[in-house]
Amino acid sequence: NAGVMQNPRHLVRRRGQEARLRCSPMKGHSHVYWYRQLPEEGLKFMVYLQKENIIDESGMPKERFSAEFPKEGPSILRIQQVVRGDSAAYFCASSPVAGEETQYFGPGTRLLVL
């Protein structure tokens, strides 16, 4: 059973470009969470999605950031017009059902904005 997959593992963008981060949850998991880890800081929750629904986006910056989890395909975290402060590691986690406390994390995407 493959774990949570994220791609790309590393992404370099210039200021003003768009970044698209993909997450395929574990098989059978329909709940996806995105977290951001800035250098020397802890993981911070961004958004929680179920298939075709955003359940909680309280940690997502109001501008430039969006997330989706379509009926088919991976979850996408999209950052428009990236700035240097967006440089971080972005982790996706999944769980099988609501109320399942344990989350299974992917390897992360390291975004570097030049």
Partner 1 sequence: SQKIEQNSEALNIQEGKTATLTCNYTNYSPAYLQWYRQDPGRGPVFLLLIRENEKEKRKERLKVTFDTTLKQSLFHITASQPADSATYLCARGTGFQKLVFGTGTRLLVSP
- Interaction of residue 78 with partner 1, rule CB under 8 A: no
- Interaction of residue 99 with partner 1, rule CB under 8 A: yes
Structure tokens belonging to residue 93: 């986690």
- Interaction of residue 31 with partner 1, rule CB under 8 A: yes
Cβ contacts of 62 within 8 Å, gap of 6 or more: none
62 in helix, strand or coil? coil
Residue count at the site for partner 1 (CB under 8 A)?
29
Least CB distance from residue 44 to partner 1, whole Å?
A: 8
- Interaction of residue 42 with partner 1, rule CB under 8 A: yes
- 44, 52, 80, 83: which one binds partner 1 (CB under 8 A): 44
Angle (CA) 62-85-16 rounded to 5° is 75
Window of 11-19, 70-78, 79-87, 92-100 that interacts with partner 1 by CB under 8 A: 92-100
Question: Which residues on neighbouring strands pair with residue 24, listed in sequence order?
Answer: 5
Question: Which residues on neighbouring strands pair with residue 50, listed in sequence order?
Answer: 31, 53
57 in helix, strand or coil? coil
Which residues here bind partner 1, judged by CB under 8 A?
Answer: 4, 31, 33, 35, 41-45, 48, 55-56, 58-59, 91, 93, 95, 98-108, 110
